[in-house]
Structure 1
């Protein structure tokens, strides 16, 4: 059974450089790769950086979908570089083609492995009463939604649910919600799997592996005169944060008063009509921080907050003159903002309560703070801090600010999960 290789190391340690070196070094006879990244720009980077083999990016051509093209390329045993969005569409055919062609997966950054399926209050009751769906508990005690095979050709508003259920991708949560779940056995179809990430401990993909009983081995990257290599996590180079502490200037002052309460600046806080005056204050504070305290300009600043329905919250929060500096709070794995050094993080991150409950109902313990911190770090590291240059940051949420300070002053968040394998070399014997 495949054990996942999690290369958990800070931004700038050379995870992508290692991956490029690995794909260049391995013989085209022995290795076939699928490289999956969040952004098309990174697909191009891989195509340009790996010289020993040609990477193909699936396209939609002549009325065929990108998934069709992916299947064609897999069937031909080609090396493939593609996006998270396409990988999430994988189905039974994808899995079989991966398995029979002996592929290695390199996953740049964790992927969305579960998502709550939007439903109206009584949709579920309606589908059950009409005997369109039913529940099935598998041998691990996990509850899946099954579509009635006799109604497989029905064309309804619920076609998206039908497709997920027929592909065995739909799970049940807490008597009230449906959760789309990337079919976990796809990871077991690869010869080897490498995930390039940081602070995996707090991320949904880790909890998803725990839920499905998939083992993962923690590794880190080291560099010497011969290039990059992987080492067991227990032999990693401990992240010295002394220098980092000098680079990160966290605003302390009166503008933080708005975020003193634990839930202040959470999504539900923004959505409460009674907080509209506080939202106006937050907007003024962010403007004040950028304009008066930092003398920031459009080419030095980035900020984020909750987007809201039709961008409604984002528009209320946007600091005057800095509308174009917004980047989504989920942004990761891109270098587009590496010149920026004035940051405003106007949000207090909590997991979607249904998704959190989904894991907990099956006995998987989740750590909200480790998750929130990993999301914050990913966002902050889009800036020039990744190049070892100083930044100034405004984090009005006292909870989020406290998490960043704890991260900067300890190794607490880098301790591996208890069930991670930390003392083994990577699974590919060529390494």
Structure 2
């Protein structure tokens, strides 16, 4: 049975340092004049969101790690060859998600250990399949199981002669496709992608709010949750999960979260409440995805003015030390002289950061941020789990994403940071986190 360990620890606690230490502990000096080449009796696959992190892992581990390349074909084919050869590999999440049944069987045979930096994209809506599913149901080629799984039943369908529905046939036979609310099709990562490993180490934070947690519940996958700490000998060790180990009170002191009334100065403003011109608006849902998509031009202009005011007048900050986010489709209407957007990733011109940013130190110099969003789970995704008897905690999910975003900035170095978070719900969740009260259900939904 696969041993799955969730290392649930705040950014900077030492999750990746523990993983590198563990891999180095399995290595021993091998050959060479000075025995500088190391061998390991274990095989690892290290999965990370960014190519830059692959380089860091390779440079900091003793054992030989290989990075898939496309020099002799595709990266995917290179991965398959490296696994067949029993090599330790560092790869991206995107590449890991493409591993097929045969490759997963090879991983199981070789006895690999998986180290995954941040949760995987384990659930995805596949809009392109909707009409095809409708046709295949009428044609009697598929049927829907009790848990809404799509099952292929047409034994006469020949993939080689008609490839129109090849992907649907293959994925449904693997148990990866589900039908939700009529014609909405979901792909789920094959659970074998985790169960084929001897051991799994998932490095993340606030796992109880992550979609991967609900995915594990869907597939009855057992796991243990741990904290990590540095002991007196300078080594990292896993301990029983305990959130009180986290220095949240110290972090609260360093984060200057803007409020309309600043008790320290007596200064009053309305930047947390002046952007909704509707009558009797519900603060709970302000700045949600639906709110932003339907917001009037007047309200978006006010938000634009607020962010410019925050970074120019409230807390004057050089553009290179700012990072900000909102719904990507709304960002063009909120960009201004301080909040830059769509300059092709040039950090000297673009300081916009995607909402789901994780596992990067690129913005660690930033001393001020703006989070113009109120995070809720996609309602269709929420119903996908709830219809299968799985309880979803939207408050934990929102809190997790906000904390991850905050820790992209200079707070990760223990330096003060100014924050503009105009959503009252998101500020309440942050205050809840400061109080170690992330399980309070009153913020889950209203």
TM-score by length of 2: 0.86
Whole-Å Cα distance in 2 between the matches of residues 318 and 29 of structure 1? 50
5 Å matches for 1:401-412? Answer: 401-412=427-438
5 Å matches for 1:125-136? Answer: 125-136=134-145
Q: Does the 8 Å contact 2:42/2:113 carry over to 1?
A: yes
Render the CA deviation track for 1:173-228: whole Å, top value 9, x for unaligned: 23331111000122111111000111001000001001110011011112121411
Render the CA deviation track for 1:222-269: whole Å, top value 9, x for unaligned: 2121411112225x7622322111101110111000376221111111
Q: Does the 8 Å contact 2:429/2:438 carry over to 1?
A: no
Partner residue, 1:171: 178
- Tell me if 1:183 matches 2:204: no
Question: Residues 130, 237 of structure 1: CA spacing in aligned structure 2 closer, same or farther, 3 A cutoff?
Answer: same
Question: Residues 384, 122 of structure 1: CA spacing in aligned structure 2 closer, same or farther, 3 A cutoff?
Answer: same
Whole-Å Cα distance in 1 between the matches of residues 439 and 230 of structure 2? 23
Question: Residues 157, 321 of structure 1: CA spacing in aligned structure 2 closer, same or farther, 3 A cutoff?
Answer: farther
Partner residue, 1:385: 411
| From 299, 312, 315, the counterpart of 2:332 | 315
Stretch of structure 1 that moved more, 21-30 or 397-406: 21-30
5 Å matches for 1:359-378? Answer: 359-378=385-404
Whole-Å Cα distance in 2 between the matches of residues 217 and 275 of structure 1? 47
The Cα shift of 1:119 comes to 4.2
The Cα shift of 1:130 comes to 3.0
| From 99, 110, 117, the counterpart of 2:119 | 110
Partner residue, 1:21: 21
The Cα shift of 1:159 comes to 5.2
Whole-Å Cα distance in 2 between the matches of residues 116 and 402 of structure 1? 30
Question: Residues 363, 86 of structure 1: CA spacing in aligned structure 2 closer, same or farther, 3 A cutoff?
Answer: same
| From 222, 228, 233, the counterpart of 2:236 | 228
5 Å matches for 1:180-219? Answer: 180-219=187-226
Stretch of structure 1 that moved more, 1-10 or 23-32: 23-32
Question: Residues 386, 241 of structure 1: CA spacing in aligned structure 2 closer, same or farther, 3 A cutoff?
Answer: same
Partner residue, 2:293: 271
The Cα shift of 1:350 comes to 1.0
Partner residue, 1:344: 370
Q: Secondary structure at the match of 2:354?
A: coil
Stretch of structure 1 that moved more, 186-195 or 225-234: 225-234
Whole-Å Cα distance in 1 between the matches of residues 165 and 376 of structure 2? 29
Q: Secondary structure at the match of 1:77?
A: coil
Partner residue, 1:10: 10
Whole-Å Cα distance in 1 between the matches of residues 256 and 241 of structure 2? 30
Whole-Å Cα distance in 1 between the matches of residues 162 and 337 of structure 2? 48
The Cα shift of 1:10 comes to 0.7
Question: Residues 66, 406 of structure 1: CA spacing in aligned structure 2 closer, same or farther, 3 A cutoff?
Answer: same
Partner residue, 1:304: 325
Question: Residues 305, 76 of structure 1: CA spacing in aligned structure 2 closer, same or farther, 3 A cutoff?
Answer: same
The Cα shift of 1:328 comes to 0.2
Query: Which structure's CA Rg is the greater one?
Result: 2
Render the CA deviation track for 1:41-78: whole Å, top value 9, x for unaligned: 00000010002x1111112233x322211110001000
| From 142, 150, 157, the counterpart of 2:156 | 150
| From 92, 96, 99, the counterpart of 1:83 | 92
Whole-Å Cα distance in 2 between the matches of residues 120 and 170 of structure 1? 10
The Cα shift of 1:322 comes to 2.6
The Cα shift of 1:90 comes to 1.5
Render the CA deviation track for 1:19-43: whole Å, top value 9, x for unaligned: 1111011144531100000000000
Partner residue, 2:68: 58
Question: Residues 126, 219 of structure 1: CA spacing in aligned structure 2 closer, same or farther, 3 A cutoff?
Answer: same
Q: What are structure 2's unaligned runs of at least 5 residues?
A: 28-38, 261-269, 277-281, 341-349, 442-446
Stretch of structure 1 that moved more, 403-412 or 188-197: 403-412
- Tell me if 1:35 matches 2:46: yes
Question: Residues 271, 147 of structure 1: CA spacing in aligned structure 2 closer, same or farther, 3 A cutoff?
Answer: farther
The Cα shift of 1:164 comes to 2.9
Residue-pair matches, total: 404
Partner residue, 1:335: 361
Q: What are structure 1's unaligned runs of at least 5 residues?
A: 416-431
The Cα shift of 1:121 comes to 6.6
CA RMSD in angstroms, aligned pairs only:
2.1
Q: Does the 8 Å contact 1:142/1:362 carry over to 2?
A: no
Partner residue, 1:47: 58
Render the CA deviation track for 1:116-166: whole Å, top value 9, x for unaligned: 1114875532232133433245xxx56234374533336566555445334
Partner residue, 2:36: none
Question: Residues 376, 146 of structure 1: CA spacing in aligned structure 2 closer, same or farther, 3 A cutoff?
Answer: farther
Higher relative contact order (CA 8 A, sep 6+): 1
TM-score by length of 1: 0.88
Q: Does the 8 Å contact 1:164/1:170 carry over to 2?
A: yes
